[in-house]
Amino acid sequence: EKVWFNILPILQNHFEENGDFSVGDRLMYSKIKQSMPLLLGGINDGSQRIKNIVEDLKSFARKDSLGYNQEVDINKVVQTSVNLTANLVSKSTEKFVVKYSPKPLYVKGNKQKLEQVLINLIENSCQALSERKQSVKILIEQKSNFAIINVSDEGYGIKSDVIKKIKDPFFTTKRNKGGTGLGLSIASKILIEHNGTLDFQSEPEKGTTATIKIPILNGESK
């Protein structure tokens, strides 16, 4: 980008004195001048996204040395999880909405394990969709002394007899797609270790909402 803007005055001066000319025997300067800022902007945006993903992957893979004693901001947990699932989300839905808490909500726990839970829920929501026009929504809010995260989708929903079993180890409705039935069981266990809960509400053909509830550190947001 710096090189382009350094040579632009020279190219523009040549253009004004001699008219349009080809660059590299293929493209005309007038077209390059119009498209280059957009191309450079796209490259910069893509580079920043790659940087964010790499940082999030490093964070996700980092060895746990603090156990469950970290002060974790739920907003940041969701933000990292959203970044790590961005590719799947973009392929699955054109209606992805995240509404963060207006202020940080701190809980005592393990950031990487909470991210693991969120990633699992986001992936499940995306896999439940049959059309890109169906939505996935995430809402973070404070209720009393708890941080609440709702992950909702407009997918195929879950029958009442199935929803009672979905947190059981090895229970899965996706066995033929490689499902192990451990994702939600592990997620539920992680939240129990955070003194929290994971619950589901669903209506067949209308969608599902997964609700995470975790006590806020010291009963208040910082």
Each residue's pLDDT, cut to its tens digit, for the chain (222 residues) gives 777 778 888 888 888 888 888 877 678 888 888 888 777 777 777 787 677 667 656 655 555 555 788 899 999 999 999 999 999 999 999 999 999 999 999 999 999 899 999 999 999 999 999 999 999 999 999 999 999 999 999 999 888 877 777 766 665 655 444 444 567 888 888 899 999 999 999 888 899 999 999 999 874 444
Which pLDDT value is given to residue 179?
47
* Length of the chain as a residue count: 222
Instruction: Provide the residue ranges of all domains of the chain, joining segments of one domain with +.
Output: 2-58, 66-219
* Domain at 66-219: CATH architecture: 2-Layer Sandwich (3.30)
Tell me the three state secondary structure of residue 145. Answer: coil
For 152-216, the three-class secondary structure string (H helix, E strand, C coil) is EECCCCCCHHHHCCCCCCCCCCCHHHCCCCCHHHHHHHHHHHCCCEEEEEEECCCEEEEEEEEEC
